[in-house]
Amino acid sequence: MELVIGQTQRSVLAFAYSRSHGFLRHCHTLKKLSVFRIAAFHSTAGLNNLSDRRHGPLTLSSLGFKFEDDKCEARKKEAGGEIRSIKSGMKLSLTKTKPVKNLSKNASVKKAVEIDGAPFAAKTFSELNLSPLLIDRLEKVGLTVPTDVQCAAIPTISQNHDAIIQSYTGSGKTLAYLLPILSEVGPLKKCNEEDPSDQKPGIEAVIVAPSRELGMQIVREVEKLLGPEDKKLVQQLVGGANPSRQEEALKKNKPVIVVGTPGRIAEISAAGKLHTHGCRFLVLDEVDQLLSFNFREDMRRILEHVGKRKGSQTSCTVGPLARRSERQTIMVSATVPFSVIRAARSWGRDPLLVRAKCVAPLDSISITAPVSLDQNSNTASTPYTVTQGAADSLPPALKHYYCIAKGQHKVDTLRKCVHALDAKSVIVFMNHTKQLKDVVFKLEARGMKAAELHGDIGKLARSTTLKKFKNGEMRVLVTNELSARGLDVSECDLVVNLELPTDAIHYAHRAGRAGRLGRKGSVVSVCEQPEVFVVKKLQRQLGVPIQPCEFAEGKLVICEEEETEKLVEVSG
Ligand SMILES: Nc1ncnc2c1ncn2[C@@H]1O[C@H](COP(=O)(O)OP(=O)(O)OP(=O)(O)O)[C@@H](O)[C@H]1O
């Protein structure tokens, strides 16, 4: 099994999981390098600690990487594609490149073959070197097979790397970072009697999420794994809840993991009630949203305090894996614009970009490229440039449609849409609260069970509504951007944009509420005729076909459209 990754004229850090030798190899060279082959992966592989790199220069050949110039050229020709360069002249691999206009269908087929043969394909969680207690617990809760992004992220995080985890919505990114953390901290961790830090209680992981709902969802995921006896070892610090109670709980329960929103974490930290200097993991979930202006001051405090031990020494080398002295920073999102890459470089230590079946050093990413999701832009041709297109942020099984309706007919169109697609669980997105309430009222008046979810309703009502929707007690949830990020309702099979999202990133997160974890799902954008150009733009930016449709006689009818057909053809 092999994975071909790219070459660079600048420094290259690559690592490989070796099936036969059972260790991961790092390499680092400043010279122009050929495309090289990464050895096959062994799930039980360990990694040499980053500190190994301090022990002198390493070269690819000294680490056993095979140079593949000729073979790679042959592959390129065979694939009918090309390894194209970005501005820096860096050559790029075919791996995980999204089909773009100038690639033939053959190229796509070849890429799929390479991806299938990639080394990140553990069949069970036990292959990923997690703690035995955690694997037992995973089995108890019915989780046995890791997703692609989990296969790539778990070994990377377990081996102390800072990381950006990027993968499409609903691909299991939460467990991708939770499992390696729970394998190292708390009651399910690997047994390591000699480690002196094991005796030291305290918060060992801080997870930051941009919304209360997402924070609570992560808490529930951790509680599920910790089990009823130990669930108090995770503490929520989300806004909207009583801060004094949270402070009391921190004192009483002595959690090892805290999950919260930036404002509340920063507030309790500033009050001197949250001691995170010895913290080992800082996770920023939906990191691109956490970078927004609203969170700036709170995030600054968090970044300055979490895991910033005074007078920290070099890594503690007790135990099977050398441990880092300062915190490990993990950033997560389905959409990773360049602002995140820049942030990762300044906040983290040699962070790696982890995507499904692909791990790359950030050094291989050009920061000079424009922050764009535009399929027509240069970024479309750069596999490690995560802004290459939001298509990588969207579940592959999702189908995208749009239909035209006048404002006053939108609710009727919505009802027809729900019936035509026979959708069981529908999330409707709107931009304005007043219109949102009207839609709920009209749907209910016409016999369709619906509820509203937005920031203007109380936190209790929000929790109750969400619970009911998840339990299937109502068919339609009408909401706004609040629910676009992270909300995990497995049964959701239809997302309707009753008002268009502001850009491709917002579209991707809204759309990703449906079709989670490989399930089927549809996204229908209902717009007025003058807005069609916005849909066309989204289509170009996303690189996925958004087909025009109508709802007639209880069925979805796909309309003919020249441009869409062309795009479908191009996207293969
Ligand atoms: N290995 C697995 N096996 C079965 N179910 C899984 C596995 N990993 C995750 N899941 C489930 O898949 C669903 C989606 O996972 P998760 O919410 O982590 O996705 P995500 O990639 O973070 O999505 P988003 O980008 O929208 O936040 C969750 O219900 C989760 O419990």
* pLDDT score for 479: 96
* pLDDT score for 195: 57
- pLDDT (average), residues 298-317: 71
CA angle 54, 58, 61 (to 5 degrees): 165
* pLDDT score for 455: 87
* pLDDT score for 394: 92
Give the lowest-confidence range in 13-22, 285-294, 493-502, 535-544: 13-22
Residue whose CA lies nearest to ligand 1 atom number 1: 146
The DSSP string of 92-157 is: --STTPPP-TTS-HHHHHHHHHHHHT-S---SSGGGGT--HHHHHHHHHTT--S--HHHHHHHHHH
pLDDT tens digits for range 446-474: 999 999 999 888 888 998 999 999 999 99
Residue whose CA lies nearest to ligand 1 atom number 2: 146
pLDDT > 70: percent of the chain: 67
438 CA distance to ligand 1 middle (Å)? 32
Residue whose CA lies nearest to ligand 1 atom number 9: 172
* pLDDT score for 181: 97
Q: How many other C-beta atoms can be found within 10 angstroms of the C-beta atom of residue 311?
A: 5
For residues 39 and 221, which has the higher predicted lDDT (pLDDT)? 221
3-state secondary structure of 61: helix
Q: Does the predicted TM-score (pTM) go above 0.90?
A: no
The model's confidence at residue 143, banded by pLDDT at 50, 70 and 90, is very high
* pLDDT score for 346: 86
* pLDDT score for 37: 28
Q: How many other C-beta atoms can be found within 10 angstroms of the C-beta atom of residue 246?
A: 22
* pLDDT score for 194: 56
Q: Is-contact 479 429, C-beta < 8 A? A: yes
* Ligand 1 atom closest to Cα of residue 149: 21
pLDDT tens digits for range 254-276: 999 999 999 999 999 999 999 99
Residue whose CA lies nearest to ligand 1 atom number 16: 172
Numbers of helices and strands, H then E, in the chain: 17, 22
* Ligand 1 atom closest to Cα of residue 143: 3
238 CA distance to ligand 1 middle (Å)? 21
* Ligand 1 atom closest to Cα of residue 171: 21
According to DSSP, the residues that pair with 494 across neighbouring strands are: 426, 522
Query: From the centroid of its chain, how far is CA 530?
Result: 34
Residue whose CA lies nearest to ligand 1 atom number 23: 170
Burial 495-506 (b: 16+ CB within 10 A, else e): bbbbbbbeebbb
* pLDDT score for 325: 60
pLDDT(293) > 50: yes
For residues 60 and 21, which has the higher predicted lDDT (pLDDT)? 21
Q: Which residue has the tokens 């009483």?
A: 252
- Estimate the crossing angle of helix 212-226 against helix 132-140, to 10 degrees: 110
The model's confidence at residue 358, banded by pLDDT at 50, 70 and 90, is confident
- Estimate the crossing angle of helix 410-420 against helix 433-445, to 10 degrees: 60
11 CA distance to ligand 1 middle (Å)? 34
Helices (DSSP H) in 159-286: which residue ranges? 173-182, 212-226, 243-253, 262-270
516 CA distance to ligand 1 middle (Å)? 7
529 CA distance to ligand 1 middle (Å)? 36
* Ligand 1 atom closest to Cα of residue 221: 31
* Ligand 1 atom closest to Cα of residue 167: 21
The DSSP string of 510-543 is: HHTTSSGGG--EEEEEEE-GGGHHHHHHHHHHHT
Cα 126 to Cα 19, 44, 141, 188, 379, distances in angstroms: 15, 8, 15, 14, 37
Could you give the ipTM of this predicted complex? 0.99
Our mutation pick for probing the ligand 1 site, out of 123, 150, 168, 174, counting the most ligand atoms within 8 A of Cβ, is 174
pLDDT(178) > 90: yes
Residue whose CA lies nearest to ligand 1 atom number 20: 170
pLDDT(421) > 50: yes
Residue whose CA lies nearest to ligand 1 atom number 22: 173
- Give me the amino acid identity at 539: Q
* pLDDT score for 354: 92
pLDDT(119) > 50: no
- pLDDT (average), residues 476-483: 93
Longest dimension (CA), the chain: 73
- CA–CA gap between residue 116 and residue 119 (Å, rounded): 9
pLDDT(249) > 60: yes
Backbone angle region of 99, left / alpha / beta, with phi > 0 → left and psi within -120 to 50 → alpha: beta
CB under 8 Å to 236, separation ≥6 — which residues? 215, 216, 219, 246, 258, 259, 260
- pLDDT (average), residues 500-529: 95
Q: Is-contact 81 54, C-beta < 8 A? A: no
Residue whose CA lies nearest to ligand 1 atom number 12: 172
What average pLDDT is seen over the chain? 75
Please name the helix (run of DSSP H) or strand (run of DSSP E) that holds residue 555, with its range, or none. Answer: strand 555-558
Residue whose CA lies nearest to ligand 1 atom number 11: 172
3-state secondary structure of 252: helix
Give the side-chain half-sphere CA count within 13 A for 291: 17
pLDDT tens digits for range 394-420: 999 999 999 999 999 999 999 999 999
- Ligand 1 binding pocket, CB closer than 6 Å: 143, 145-147, 150, 167, 169-175, 334, 486, 488, 490, 512, 516-517
> Kind of pairing, strands 358-361 and 257-260?
unpaired
For residues 59 and 431, which has the higher predicted lDDT (pLDDT)? 431
Q: For residue 415, count CB atoms less than 10 angstroms from its CB and return exposed for 0-12, middle for 13-18, buried for 19 or more.
A: middle
